Structure 1
Amino acid sequence: MKCRSFILIMLFVVSNVWTQQKTITPNEAVSLALENNYGIKLANNQLEIAKNNVGILNSGYLPTLTGNAGTTFSIDNTEAEFSNGNTTVLNGAESSRYNASINLNYILFDGLGRSYDYKQLKQLYQLTELEARETIENTIYQLFTVYYNVAELSENALALDQSLAISKDRLMRAQYQFDYGQSTKLGVLNAEVDINNDSINVINTKQQLINVKRDLNVVLGNTLTADFSVDTQVGFDVLFDKEALFQKAKTRNTALLQIDKNIAISGFDIKSGKSAYLPTVGLSGTYGWNKNNNNAASFVAVSTSTGVSGGLNLSWNLFDGGSTITRVKNAKINLENQQLQKEQLLISLERDFNNAWDDYQNKLNIFKIQEANIITSQNNFNRTEEKFKIGQVNSIEFRQAQLNLLNAELSRNRAKYDAKLAELQLLQLSGELLNVSF
């Protein structure tokens, strides 16, 4: 009795934690994840960096403007001999010089390398967008993996609570029968054992539920401070057209789109490398100011000058030791590798899509069978319970019918959420995960 009392106390404590909860719908969960998930925040920051890199300030099309200034000071001992034979000696003669200038440089033509580099940056930005989208898709799928785990454990806890209530009713009935001499103490003991087992299952399941809710809160960026529940209603889209969905997969799958961007980037890398074969034409301009304070030995005591100068320069790297040739060759090989990876990915994608399609159809059928099994198990339990009350069925047979009903409910719950996750995986492969309503 002490053991059973302890179990009931623990059950009461866990039940209090589990009650009075706010229901988080799938749409609310997705919104919270998009706003607060740390993985998504990091991906968005990487996207901002890529956006900065593709701006005009990083394009190489703007000129460079530099300012220079300087000064020198000297003290000299000077001996000057003039043509008339006179000699002048100066000790500690001071002189100083000052200068300042502004220099402008602009590349007029660099073999179109600057243009290809800028186009490559645009492709890199779009690639980063796809990487951010992939992070969001993976996070959403992870979110629903945990979300539906919470939903499954919630329904399991209700089923176990109902089974525990049935066991308590059986114990009360067995105790009455024993008190009035209609059965032996064995029936009471068996009922108590079953209650203890059912109570332990309830406690363990509700503790698992609490733990999984914490996991869900982590995915949501730890934004939920109060206890919560989730929506256990699940709908399925059974109107998918396999061929149409596969065509979407070949044009919208995130991994495939990333390969396409890498192919475009490799193409621009080849063109950028070839631009080194052409000359570079640059424009330069300078505005300068100079002032000299000369010592007494000089004919000019102070001189000041200002001026503007400009020039056009051409630079042609006729041979750089073969580094440009090597770079272009390697870029071509890299492009070929990207194209081979795309072909390999298409084969893998077709396989994964067909596996995901079959898995979804199978799990959906299993769920339907489990739903029908619930009806059969419930009818079997109801009839067994009626016979048990009038003494036509013993406690072992009644317990077996009870366990059959419980296992059918637990199996139905698992089949339901497995089928939903299989549907989400199919949508992710086809690039449609972010285009559906949850």
Structure 2
Amino acid sequence: MKQIKCTLILLFFVSLGYSQNQLTKKEAVNLTLENNYGILIAKNNIKIAENNSSVFNTGFLPKVTASSGINYSNTSSELTSQSGTVTNTDNAEATSYSGAIGLNYTLFDGFGRAYNYKKLKESHNLSELEAKAIIENSLLQVFSLYYEVARLSEDTKNISESLAISKQRLKRANYAFDYGQTTKLQLLNAEVDVNNDSIRYINIQRLLANSKRDLNLSLGRNVTTDFNVDTNVTFNSLFDFNTILEKAKAYNVEIQKLDKSIILNDFDIKINKSDLLPTLNLTSSYGFSKYDNDATFTYADQLSKGLTAGVSLNWNIFDGGTTKTRIDNSKIVADNLQIQKEQINNSIERSIANALEVYNNAIFILQAEEKNVETNLRNFSRTEEQYKLGQITSIEFRQAQINLLNAQSSLNQAKYDAKNAELIILQLSGDLLNVEF
């Protein structure tokens, strides 16, 4: 008993040592968007896709190259004519200098570059949708953790109040026992109940601390940061299935991602077909070369410079059927994507129906639990009065106390279950990021 009291006192002073900042839902959203690790990685992936969709990555711009060099030679030679005359040249020295700048440009490639450029733009759009999906899932996770902290906070408050009631009952039992108005058994029962409530309070404090650390991790901040949360929640009074379904078809991120994949595959077909057409390339260069020779050479200096240019046409008339195979496979992928679209549309419709049923049931349970708490509050209030008057036993009083605590806990669970169910509906309809928290 003394050990439990010491533990509770320690927990109290430890809690005072932390700053209890109020973390609102809006602040949690902002912190998630700014610091969540998965979202930060997704944003960087968008930057990569943006770089890839630049004109510098499409082949539309020409390639310009430059080269230069210097060479030195020192040779000895022996030349024999047809008449037998031998001519020797010893240590003939020559130095050459060269430089050139060239330009290569594809004038026509069967429209492959144009289709590839459009595909890269759509890939950038797809990366934004993938980031949006990550943001939605991250927000769902954050709110699930946020509401778990809220639930445990309210449970902690209720258990603390129940512990205070048990301590007051133990105090009354001690007085009654001292004056011979109760038995030792009733005093021991009161002590056991205080111990059980103390253990329950310590356990809920541990769960609450763990949940706060989990939430801090998702928010991308120091996990030891302490805070309070807003335990108030509001609900959408009514959801219409057809309205949600229409929104989902237009704004659900998974459907939008699949639509982008269909567009990308269409460009793949066009890019592969462009390989059936000829390519026209332009090449040009301007260069010079200079030789410095010693007296053994006929010419002391040699200099040449000039421009060269040309156009080449290449047409892969038959490549063994590899291009045809790529085109056929891309068309099959297009068929698969259409099948997947039909599947995901049906899956979304089923998910919306399930989510609505879960939400409506959760709201019904919430309303029932609210009435249950009201009933248990009245029951406990009357039981407490009867206990003080000695009209009921401590066991009956304890049972009323436990019933009230269980009802309060069930109400908290039902409240946040209903809110999480509502968030699932908002995600399915594509409205999650449009909600004012």
Q: Would you say same fold, with TM above 0.5? A: yes
Q: Deviations over 1:4-31 (max 9, x none)?
A: 1111111122233334511100000110
Written as runs of structure 1 = structure 2, the 5 A alignment for 1:383-402 is 383-402=382-401
Instruction: Give the whole-Å Cα distance in 2 for the aligned partners of 1:180 and 1:83.
Output: 146
Q: Deviations over 1:89-147 (max 9, x none)?
A: 21111123221111101111100000111111011101100000000000000001111
Which residue, 9, 13, 17 being the options, matches 1:16? 13
Asked if the contact 1:283/1:311 (under 8 Å) is kept, the reply is yes
Instruction: Give the whole-Å Cα distance in 2 for the aligned partners of 1:169 and 1:282.
Output: 94
Q: Which residue of 2 aligns with 1:167?
A: 166
Asked if the contact 2:216/2:225 (under 8 Å) is kept, the reply is no
Asked if the contact 1:78/1:297 (under 8 Å) is kept, the reply is no
Pairwise CA distance, 1:79: 3.7
Instruction: Give the whole-Å Cα distance in 2 for the aligned partners of 1:215 and 1:167.
Output: 32
Q: What one-letter code is carried by the residue in structure 2 that aligns with 1:273? A: N
Corresponding residue SS for 1:129: helix
Corresponding residue SS for 2:392: coil
Q: Which moved more, 1:100-109 or 1:237-246?
A: 237-246
Asked if the contact 2:176/2:182 (under 8 Å) is kept, the reply is yes
Written as runs of structure 1 = structure 2, the 5 A alignment for 1:19-34 is 19=16, 20-34=19-33
1:90 aligns with 2:89: yes
Q: Percent identity?
A: 50
Q: Which residue of 2 aligns with 1:418?
A: 417
Pairwise CA distance, 1:296: 4.1
1:212 aligns with 2:214: no
Aligned residue-pair number = 435
Asked if the contact 1:143/1:216 (under 8 Å) is kept, the reply is yes
Q: Which residue of 2 aligns with 1:56?
A: 55
Written as runs of structure 1 = structure 2, the 5 A alignment for 1:331-342 is 331-342=330-341
Q: Which residue of 2 aligns with 1:135?
A: 134
Instruction: Give the whole-Å Cα distance in 2 for the aligned partners of 1:223 and 1:176.
Output: 49
Pairwise CA distance, 1:282: 1.2
Q: Which residue of 1 aligns with 2:74?
A: 75
Q: Deviations over 1:74-95 (max 9, x none)?
A: 2222345789997642111112
Corresponding residue SS for 2:221: coil
Which structure 1 residue ranges, 5 or more long, are not aligned? none
Instruction: Give the whole-Å Cα distance in 1 for the aligned partners of 2:337 and 2:12.
Output: 56
1:110 aligns with 2:109: yes
Q: Which residue of 2 aligns with 1:320?
A: 319
Pairwise CA distance, 1:186: 1.0
Instruction: Give the whole-Å Cα distance in 2 for the aligned partners of 1:366 and 1:16.
Output: 38
Pairwise CA distance, 1:400: 0.6
Pairwise CA distance, 1:193: 0.2
Pairwise CA distance, 1:393: 0.9
Q: What one-letter code is carried by the residue in structure 2 that aligns with 1:174? A: A
Q: Which moved more, 1:319-328 or 1:264-273?
A: 319-328
Written as runs of structure 1 = structure 2, the 5 A alignment for 1:362-401 is 362-401=361-400
Asked if the contact 2:213/2:223 (under 8 Å) is kept, the reply is no
Asked if the contact 2:108/2:279 (under 8 Å) is kept, the reply is yes
Instruction: Give the whole-Å Cα distance in 2 for the aligned partners of 1:401 and 1:208.
Output: 25
Instruction: Give the whole-Å Cα distance in 1 for the aligned partners of 2:276 and 2:139.
Output: 48
Corresponding residue SS for 2:145: helix
Pairwise CA distance, 1:243: 1.3
Asked if the contact 1:14/1:207 (under 8 Å) is kept, the reply is no
1:155 aligns with 2:134: no
Q: What one-letter code is carried by the residue in structure 1 that aligns with 2:319? A: D
Instruction: Give the whole-Å Cα distance in 2 for the aligned partners of 1:15 and 1:236.
Output: 34
Corresponding residue SS for 2:93: strand
Pairwise CA distance, 1:210: 0.6
Q: Deviations over 1:273-307 (max 9, x none)?
A: 00000000111110101112345454322111121
Instruction: Give the whole-Å Cα distance in 2 for the aligned partners of 1:124 and 1:91.
Output: 67
Pairwise CA distance, 1:227: 1.5
Instruction: Give the whole-Å Cα distance in 1 for the aligned partners of 2:80 and 2:258.
Output: 81
Q: Which residue of 2 aligns with 1:293?
A: 292
Q: What one-letter code is carried by the residue in structure 2 that aligns with 1:396? A: I
Pairwise CA distance, 1:177: 1.2
Q: Which moved more, 1:266-275 or 1:173-182?
A: 173-182
Instruction: Give the whole-Å Cα distance in 2 for the aligned partners of 1:57 and 1:147.
Output: 45
Which structure 2 residue ranges, 5 or more long, are not aligned? none
Q: Which moved more, 1:152-161 or 1:15-24?
A: 15-24
